[in-house]
Amino acid sequence: MSHGTHALERVNDARARGILEAALDAIIVIDAEGRITESNLAAERILGWLRSDLVGRMLQDTVIPPRYRGAHQRAFAQHIRTGIPGILGQRLELHARRADGSEFPCELIVTRVDLADEVIFAGHIRDISDRREAERAIRESEARLRTLTEAMPEAVFLFDAEGRMVIANPAALELTATGSPLHFAGLVGRLDTGEDTPPAISLGQRMGPLEARLAPRGRWVEWSSHPVEVPPDTTAVGQDASSGTGGAATMVVLRDVTEQRQARVTRDAFIGVLSHELRTPVTTLYGTANLLTRAGRLDDDVRDELVRDMLAEADRLQRLVEDLLVLSRAELGRIEVVPEPILMQRLIPRLVSAEEARWPATRFHFDIAQQLPPVVGDETYLSQALRNLIGNAAKYSPVGSQVQVHVESQDGDVVVRVLDEGPGFPPEEAERLFELFYRSARTAQRATGAGIGLFVTKQLVEALGGTAWAVARPGGGSEFGLRLRPYTEDL
């Protein structure tokens, strides 16, 4: 009796034969030695082997390509020792060999069947070529998507239907300071719109643009989200491939608008400054000019006083315009200087004399060390920066107080210190005083101002390669200073 007949008698059930033949997967029955004892019609179609060519031959010599035989033999031997009857055995993904020698990817599942006097194994061979091709297409599609998002300046996230992060480009990781996969709900939870209730954003929802502050870095972002379709088996970051899910997903794009928002705030403040600070001198000049032209004969003293008022307001207007011009250049990053040697011994007396004329109720004193080297400067810009400091000290000082200007050499640099006897400022405000439009609460009520002068001074000094600082004097008053580089021929 042949092996095939013997095996058929072991199965010996017409219904089992019908089920075997109706199966879509290739099914091969082998004995404990690995010899094929039976196969179905699907095996002929999938493998290209006739049943008569397979039965009696070793599985290793026919269906299993040489490079996979070692792994298959180890798994088969393990299954013989420990396999449980009727329970699916180890699932292997490998390649099967057809009769013509070609190979194809397959999934092999071996089930142990214990008969009365023999142990046999049913091997299910499933062609997974279509699945592998789909996986390859998905990987290529995902790779193209990643390539596209890698170079995008906007932060791009892709979340699957469960809210797990599938893709995050470098801009997204940098903006959110994300070192591990971020859930959709976690990203939404970082948004702060300034409202009492958090924004209502859901997976699969078309939303935006919505402007909000993003934790933990506090940058302002513009949120936009869109529903998208994700191919099946797309794997979330940090998940096993078996947990990949396709279907509805959500793409989130975050655009960093911190600079644009700051520019908008600056623009609004700038317009406010123009409408307030320019109106006063312009109104005074216009009114005084009308008075001079329309009035009858005026006393010489009255006329001289009106002219002095006009000159003072014109000077104030000119200084404000100069500061606004520097401000606009600083915002564009276009403060350009041509270094030239400036002697502080000549510049300081001229500037102090001009401020004495502007502030007759203030006493001025300057002290300039001997043999000072020339400094790197641009006379127009350096004069503007120093004039802002000296005039600022006089403006906030009490009537009859003194403003001192000290110039000395220090560690090879030239240091200018402007000391006043005004109200001073809290030490924690020292850096903020140089911010655009910032005015200390301690001095804001004493005199009008735009909060531009100190900002402009710092911008000009730094453009010249120097530094500016502010210090509250222990006995009251303030010290504002500049450190300037000495001029050398190789500059």
Last residue of a domain, one of 100, 127, 154: 127
pLDDT on residue 389: 93
Last residue of a domain, one of 256, 276, 297: 256
Are both 302 and 187 inside the same structural domain? no
CATH classification of the domain holding 471: 3.30.565.10
Q: Is 201 helix (H, G, I), strand (E, B) or coil?
A: coil
Q: Is residue 213 part of a domain?
A: yes
Are both 249 and 272 inside the same structural domain? no
CA distance 476 to 396: 12
Q: Is residue 471 part of a domain?
A: yes
CA distance 459 to 481: 14
pLDDT on residue 379: 85
Secondary structure element (H or E) that encloses residue 329, with its range: helix 300-332
**249 — pLDDT class (breaks 50, 70, 90):** confident
pLDDT on residue 301: 78
Residue 288 to residues 236, 284, 299, 307, 318: CA-CA distances in angstroms? 74, 6, 15, 8, 17
**241 — pLDDT class (breaks 50, 70, 90):** very low
Domain hosting 227: range is 136-256
Are both 409 and 480 inside the same structural domain? yes
What tens digit of pLDDT does each residue of 432-463 get?
888 877 777 666 666 666 677 888 888 888 88
Are both 92 and 140 inside the same structural domain? no
CA distance 334 to 342: 22
Q: Look at residues 249, 207, 202 and name the one whose alpha carbon lies nearest to residue 225.
A: 207
Q: Look at residues 99, 100, 101, 118 and name the one whose alpha carbon lies nearest to residue 39.
A: 99
Residue 78, pLDDT > 70, answer no
Are both 105 and 22 inside the same structural domain? yes
Secondary structure element (H or E) that encloses residue 174, with its range: helix 170-176
Based on the number of CB atoms within 10 Å of its own CB, is 145 exposed (0-12), middle (13-18) or buried (19 or more)? middle
Last residue of a domain, one of 210, 239, 256: 256
Share of the chain above pLDDT 90, in %: 12
CB atoms within 10 A of CB 429: 18
pLDDT (average), residues 262-276 = 70
CA distance 47 to 31: 20
Q: Which residues of 362-385 are buried (b: 16+ CB within 10 A; e: fewer)?
A: bebebebeeebbbbbbbeebbbbb
CA distance 375 to 483: 10
Q: Which residues of 288-319 are buried (b: 16+ CB within 10 A; e: fewer)?
A: beeeeeeeeeeeeeeeeebeeebeebeebbeb
pLDDT (average), residues 218-241 = 68
Secondary structure element (H or E) that encloses residue 253, with its range: strand 247-256
Are both 207 and 289 inside the same structural domain? no
Are both 98 and 60 inside the same structural domain? yes
Q: Is residue 489 part of a domain?
A: no
Sheet holding 88-97, edge to edge: 36-39, 26-31, 119-127, 103-114, 88-97
Asked if residue 46 lies in contact with residue 125, where contact means CB atoms within 8 angstroms, the answer is yes
pLDDT on residue 4: 43
Q: Look at residues 379, 388, 378 and name the one whose alpha carbon lies nearest to residue 316.
A: 388
pLDDT on residue 409: 92
What tens digit of pLDDT does each residue of 197-217 get?
777 888 888 887 888 888 887
Residue 178, pLDDT > 80, answer no
Are both 272 and 387 inside the same structural domain? no
* Amino acid of residue 36: I
CATH classification of the domain holding 314: 1.10.287.130
CA distance 280 to 321: 13
CATH classification of the domain holding 43: 3.30.450.20
Residue 244, pLDDT > 80, answer no
> What is the residue whose two structure tokens read 């020792």?
81
Are both 306 and 365 inside the same structural domain? no
pLDDT on residue 443: 67
* Amino acid of residue 406: H
Residue 107 to residues 39, 65, 74, 110, 186: CA-CA distances in angstroms? 17, 14, 16, 10, 39
**345 — pLDDT class (breaks 50, 70, 90):** very high
Are both 401 and 437 inside the same structural domain? yes
Of the ranges 15-19, 122-126, 419-423, which is most confident?
Answer: 419-423
pLDDT on residue 481: 93
Q: Is residue 86 part of a domain?
A: yes
Are both 267 and 252 inside the same structural domain? no
Q: Is residue 490 part of a domain?
A: no
Are both 361 and 467 inside the same structural domain? yes
Helices (H) and strands (E) in the chain, counts: 15, 18
CA distance 118 to 37: 13
The total of structural domains in the chain comes to 4
pLDDT (average), residues 45-64 = 86
Q: Look at residues 445, 447, 440 and name the one whose alpha carbon lies nearest to residue 424.
A: 440
If you count them, how many residues does the chain have? 491
Which two tokens mark 201?
A: 């954003």
Report the mean per-residue pLDDT for the chain: 79
Q: Is residue 350 part of a domain?
A: yes
Q: What is the DSSP letter of 337?
A: -
> What is the residue whose two structure tokens read 């026919």?
62
pLDDT on residue 311: 80
Terminal Cα-to-Cα distance of the chain (whole angstroms): 106
pLDDT on residue 142: 66
Residue 305, pLDDT > 60, answer yes
pLDDT on residue 209: 86
Which two tokens mark 12?
A: 């010996």
Beta pairing class for 402-410 and 467-472: unpaired
Q: Is residue 287 part of a domain?
A: yes
Q: What is the DSSP letter of 423?
A: -
What tens digit of pLDDT does each residue of 319-337 get?
777 777 776 666 666 677 7
Which two tokens mark 344?
A: 């502080």
Residue 171, pLDDT > 50, answer yes
Q: Is residue 491 part of a domain?
A: no
**86 — pLDDT class (breaks 50, 70, 90):** very low
CA distance 268 to 262: 10
